[in-house]
Each structure stands twice: as C-alpha cells, then as structure tokens.
Amino acid sequence: QVQLVESGGGLVQPGGSRRLSCAASGSILSIYTMGWFRQAPGKQRELVASMTSGGNLNYADSVKGRFTISRDNAKNTVYLQMNSLKPEDTAVYYCNAVLSTIQGISQRYWGQGTQVTVSS
C-alpha cells in the first residue's frame, strides 16, 4: 500500500506565506511525478504545481512567481512554498504522486487533502 500524508494547511492572512509538505510512504519502487492540486468550493480540482523526477516543473499561471515546488527524493517528500497568498488561493490542497510500487503497479495516488484558508 501507498500513503500520501499532507501537512501545513491552516489559516493565513492575505500577503502571508505557508509551506505545505507531503510525504509518500509504503511499498514504493520509484516516484516519477509529485505535485499539488487544489479545489475551491464550487470549482473543479486544478493543477497548482508539479515536478518530475528529472526536475521538470509545471505551474498554474495563477501561482507563477508566488509558489515554489520542491522535492526531497531521499525522503519521498514534496513541498509547496506559498508566498504572497491571496483570498482566491483558499482551497483544499491535494498532494499527488505518479509512482510504481514493488508489486509492479504504476498509477497516480492522492493524499487526503489539507485546507488552506486565506483571510483577514
């Protein structure tokens, strides 16, 4: 089994910063892509940022220049540093990883989500 456990969500004031973390554990053989999606009330889930094992980055236009994704491959952990937060960044943030397991399964896995609320 594979688990993705997120942490770091909470309430933050506009203009503030927050760092999310997501650690993958279980019978992991190799992780290809790790990233973050978010879903605001009444909206579809959208990609925020992703990073391949080779270091290729992808950001949503709405977060470019404000958010930074990084990975610690030794710890199977991905981070999302969020700066200059805006009320429209309020959402549940989901970690995801495309990986293969020791059992030979390759698929996308999701974390349980962590709420980020940007409000004064």
Q: pLDDT band for 51, please (50, 70, 90 cuts).
A: very high
Amino acid identity of residue 60, one-letter, is A
- Cα–Cα distance, 96 to 93 (Å, whole number): 10
Mean pLDDT score of the chain, rounded to an integer?
96
Work out the percent of the chain whose per-residue pLDDT is above 70: 100
Alpha helices in 14-99 (DSSP H): none
Q: pLDDT band for 77, please (50, 70, 90 cuts).
A: very high
Per-residue pLDDT, 74 = 93
Per-residue pLDDT, 40 = 96
Q: Residue 4's closest CA among 32, 27, 18, 24?
A: 24
Q: What angle do CA 64, 65, 66 make, to 5 degrees?
A: 95
Per-residue pLDDT, 36 = 98
Q: pLDDT band for 42, please (50, 70, 90 cuts).
A: very high
Three-state DSSP class for residue 113: coil
> Taking residues 80-92, what's their average pLDDT?
98
Per-residue pLDDT, 88 = 97
Per-residue pLDDT, 103 = 92
